[in-house]
Amino acid sequence: MPSNSLLTFGWLKQVGLLLLLLSSVAVAVEDVVNFSDESLRPRYQQLLEELRCPKCQNQNLADSNSAISQDLRAEVQRLLEQDLTDAEIKEYLKNRYSEFILYRPEVNRATWFLWAAPVVLVLLGGLIVLRLSRRKKLSQSEKLDVSPRSVEQQQRLDELLNSHKRGSE
């Protein structure tokens, strides 16, 4: 029966899809971390995203699988369980691994320029655009600005126009 086999095929497809989904879930939870309180988990994830692996430079603690990142992940977990705030945990690690470990640098003497530069550049760009557009407007209005003709000029214009009309007739 063709219809029946089609049905079973569809059923198999669904099971296959389900298995695929489940397997990807299984991969995602490879790194098992147990918290006494589940509310710590989002903070843990957030911290790992923002802390930089000191050994592997361009990865954060969440991405890196180097030995030191594993140790630091465990350290972050331990500190979270000790009821430290996020800021305290960052401070703790900063005191040991220097500012390098923070992917989001603090504002201080060395970094203020980094933080201020985008704002300054946007303001500067806006200022330039404003000035340019104003200058353009000015020059345009100058072109359109027709000063009133004097009576003599009007007479001369009429004469010229009339002579032209006569000439064409």
What residue ranges bind other proteins (CB under 8 A)? 54-55, 57, 67-68, 71-72, 75, 94-100
Minimum Å gap between C-beta 135 and other proteins is 14
Phi, psi of 150 (to 5 degrees): -75, 170
CA dihedral for 160, 162, 165, 169, sign (positive or negative): negative
Closer residue to other proteins in complex, CB, 4/95: 95
Closer residue to other proteins in complex, CB, 33/102: 102
CA distance 56 to 49: 14
Give long-range contacts, CB 8 A cutoff, 24+ apart: 76-80.
76/44, 76/47, 76/48, 76/51, 77/33, 77/35, 77/44, 80/35, 80/40, 80/43, 80/44, 80/47
Phi, psi of 102 (to 5 degrees): -90, 120
Closer residue to other proteins in complex, CB, 71/159: 71
Closer residue to other proteins in complex, CB, 88/158: 88
Q: What contacts 98, CB < 8 A, 6 or more positions away?
A: none
Minimum Å gap between C-beta 140 and other proteins is 22
Minimum Å gap between C-beta 69 and other proteins is 9
Closer residue to other proteins in complex, CB, 20/128: 128
Minimum Å gap between C-beta 93 and other proteins is 9
Minimum Å gap between C-beta 159 and other proteins is 45
Q: What contacts 164, CB < 8 A, 6 or more positions away?
A: none
